[in-house]
Chains A and B, each alone.
Chain A
Amino acid sequence: MATAARYGSRVDAGLLVGCVVLSVIALVLKDEDREPIASALRRSIVAPLVGLQRGAERWRSAWVTSEQRQLVADSVAIRGIKEQAALVENEQLRKIVGLGSRLEWGFIPAEAVHSAAPSEEVVTNMTLTAGSVAGVQRYNPVVAPEGLVGVVQTADPTMSIAILYTSPDFRASAMSADASAFGIVYPHSGRGSAAYMLELRGVPTRVQLKPGTQIYTSGLGGTFPRGITIGTVVSELKTTEPWTRTYLLRPAVSPSRVTTVLVLTAQRVTQGTGNVWGGAVNADSATRRIVAANDSIARQAASIEAQARRAALDSVRLATIDSVRRSLGAGVMPEPTDSAAARAPAGTPIAPHTPTQRRDTTRARRDSVRPATNAKSPT
C-alpha cells in the first residue's frame, strides 16, 4: 500500500516535471519552430474554440460599432437640439431687444426661471433674476414680445417672483381691439392644455366678439397699461350669466417658451406703453384721430354756418330798417358797414343807392360775411 502510494507520488512528480520541462522547451523554442506547432493546434483540436472566439469577437465588434454609431447619432441629435434651442433663444432675445427698443424706457429686463410645485399641473409662477435693487416692485407687469405674461408678486433685492396668467390669482382688465368690448380676463379652469387658456368675462351681451378677435389690456385699474396683447378669442363659453358673455381666449404668450421678459416699471405703467404691441392702441389712436378730425371739421362747419346765419340776420335787419326809413321819407342812413364806400378812394363819388331791398340785402350779406371768412382763413 505504502509502496503504491510512493509509486503514485513519483509518477505524479514525474508527470509534473515532464509537463514543466515540455513547457520550458516550448518557451525556449524559436518562433519559426513553435509557430508550426501552434498553427497545427489551431487548425485541428483548437479549431472549434478559435471559431467560437472569432464569432464572439465579431459580435463584440458589431456591438461596439453599433454603440459608437449610436453615440455619434446621439451626439448629432443632441447637437441639433442644442442648435435648435440656440436658434429659438436667439430669436427670443432678438424679439426682446426689439421690444426694448420700442419701449425705449421704463422697463427692467430679467431672465425667467420656471418653477412649478410637484402637485401643480401647470406652471403658475416664475422666478425672475431681477429684484428690487434693479427697480422691480410688486404688481409690476411682466411682458414678453408676444404680449402679457403676468405680474410681479414678490420682489426681493436680487430676484422676484411673478405669477403667470395661469395663476388662479391673476386678473386683468381687457378690451377688444376696437374698444367695443370690455371685460376682465381670468385664467381658464381646465385640465391639460386647456389649463393654459384664458377667459374674458363680463362682456356685455349686446357685444359679440368673433373668433380671432385680438384682446388687449384696457388700462383700467392701473395695474397694466393699455394696449398689451393678451390673446385671441377662440369661442364663446356658455355660462349662467344672463347679461354678460364669457369668451375663451388663446393666450398670446406660451409660458414654457418664455425665457427672457421685461418688467414694466410703475412710472411706465402710469404713462402708458404707446403703440408697442400695435393693434389696440393703433386702432384706438386712429379712431381717436378720426373722431378728433371729424370734430374739428364739424366745429369749423358749425362756426361758419353760425356766422353766416348771424350775417344774414344782420343784413335782413339793416335792409328792413332802411326800407322803413325810406317809406317814412327819411334819408338813407349812411352805411359805415358798407365796404364799397369805405374802400372807395377819397373824392370818388359814390353812386346813389338804388332803392331796391334785394340789392341792399345782398350787399349787406356779402359785407357781413367777409370779416368772418377773413377770420377763418388762418386756421
Chain B
Amino acid sequence: MNWTGAVRTMLVCAILIVLHYTLRPLLAWRASVDFLIVALLLGSVRLRPGAAAVYGFLLGLVADSIAVSPFGAAALAMSIVGFGASWLKAVFFADNLALNGFFLFLAKWIFDLIFLIVGHRAVGPELAMQIFVWSPLAAAVTAVAGVLALSLLKPLMEVRTA
C-alpha cells in the first residue's frame, strides 16, 4: 500500500470513527451500526495481520475508554477480529459487495461474541438472547451500513487482494 492509499484509508477510517461517535448516539437504535468494526475491517485488509491486530487493539482501547464496559474487552475482541480479517482478506474481501457484507456481518458477530463472553456483560438466557438475537441484528445492520459505506467510498478505496 503506497502513501496515497494509506492516507486515503486513514481518512476513510477517521470518517467512520467519527460517524461511530456521532451518528450512532443520534440514532440510538437497539441494534445499532458499529462503524468501528467497519473501520477496523477496512484498515485490517490493507495491513499485515500483526499490524491489524495492533490496529484493532488500539481501536478497542478507544472504545473501552469511552464506553461503560469492562476495560480491555473491546480491545481483545478487536485484536482478534482485526488479525482474522487481515489473515482472511484474500478469501473474503473480494470485489463482491455481498461477500463484503457477509464478512462484515461475521466480523461484527464474532466481535460481539468475544466482547460479551469476555466482558461478562450478560449471563444465561440474557446472554443467549444477546448472542442469537440482538448481535445478529446489529451485525446485519452493520453489514448493510458497511456495504453502503464501501459503495460510497469506493473511489477513495484501493483494496489490495494480496
Please report A residues at the B interface, Cβ cutoff 8 Å.
Answer: 8, 11-16, 19-20, 22-27, 29, 34-35, 37-38, 41-42, 45-46, 49-50, 52-53, 55-57, 59-60, 63
Please tell me if the beta carbons of A53 and B60 are within 8 angstroms of each other in the complex: no
C-alpha spacing A369/B7, complex, angstroms:
138
Given A26-B64, A53-B21, also A34-B28 (CB < 8 A) = no
Please tell me if the beta carbons of B71 and A57 are within 8 angstroms of each other in the complex: no
Please tell me if the beta carbons of A27 and B53 are within 8 angstroms of each other in the complex: no
**In angstroms, how far is the closest chain A Cβ from the Cβ of B86?**
8
Please tell me if the beta carbons of B75 and A22 are within 8 angstroms of each other in the complex: yes
Please tell me if the beta carbons of B66 and A50 are within 8 angstroms of each other in the complex: yes
Please tell me if the beta carbons of B66 and A49 are within 8 angstroms of each other in the complex: yes
Please tell me if the beta carbons of B70 and A20 are within 8 angstroms of each other in the complex: no
Name the contact of B64 in the complex, choosing from A38, A49, A63 (C-beta under 8 A): A38
Given A41-B62, A46-B66, also A15-B25 (CB < 8 A) = no
Given A26-B75, A42-B65, also A19-B18 (CB < 8 A) = no
Q: Which single residue of chain A is at the shortest CB-CB distance from B87? A: A12
Secondary structure at the A interface, as helix, strand, loop or mixed, is helix
Residues of B45-62 whose CB lies within 8 A of A: 48-51, 53-54, 56-57, 60-62
Q: Specify which chain A residues have a CB less than 8 angstroms from the CB of B75 in the assembled complex.
A: 19, 22-23, 26
Q: Specify which chain B residues have a CB less than 8 angstroms from the CB of A57 in the assembled complex.
A: 25
Interchain residue pairs A-B with the least CB separation, the first 8: A26-B72, A12-B50, A15-B50, A23-B76, A41-B65, A19-B79, A27-B72, A56-B25
Please tell me if the beta carbons of A45 and B48 are within 8 angstroms of each other in the complex: no
**In angstroms, how far is the closest chain A Cβ from the Cβ of B145?**
16
Q: Specify which chain B residues have a CB less than 8 angstroms from the CB of A29 in the assembled complex.
A: 71-72
Q: Which single residue of chain A is at the shortest CB-CB distance from B120? A: A27
Q: Specify which chain B residues have a CB less than 8 angstroms from the CB of A13 in the assembled complex.
A: 50
C-alpha spacing A42/B54, complex, angstroms:
19
Given A34-B72, A60-B26, also A15-B51 (CB < 8 A) = yes
Q: Specify which chain B residues have a CB less than 8 angstroms from the CB of A52 in the assembled complex.
A: 18, 21-22
User: Is the CB of B17 closer than 8 A to any CB of chain A?
Assistant: yes
Please tell me if the beta carbons of B72 and A25 are within 8 angstroms of each other in the complex: yes
Q: Specify which chain B residues have a CB less than 8 angstroms from the CB of A27 in the assembled complex.
A: 70-73, 76, 118-119
Q: Which single residue of chain B is at the shortest CB-CB distance from A25? A: B72
**In angstroms, how far is the closest chain A Cβ from the Cβ of B98?**
28
C-alpha spacing A330/B25, complex, angstroms:
143
Q: Specify which chain A residues have a CB less than 8 angstroms from the CB of B48 in the assembled complex.
A: 8, 12
Q: Specify which chain B residues have a CB less than 8 angstroms from the CB of A50 in the assembled complex.
A: 21, 66
Name the contact of A56 in the complex, choosing from B21, B50, B62, B73 (C-beta under 8 A): B21
**In angstroms, how far is the closest chain B Cβ from the Cβ of A356?**
129
**In angstroms, how far is the closest chain B Cβ from the Cβ of A58?**
9
Interface centre among B56, B72, B83 (most CB of A within 10 A): B72
Interface centre among B62, B79, B118 (most CB of A within 10 A): B79
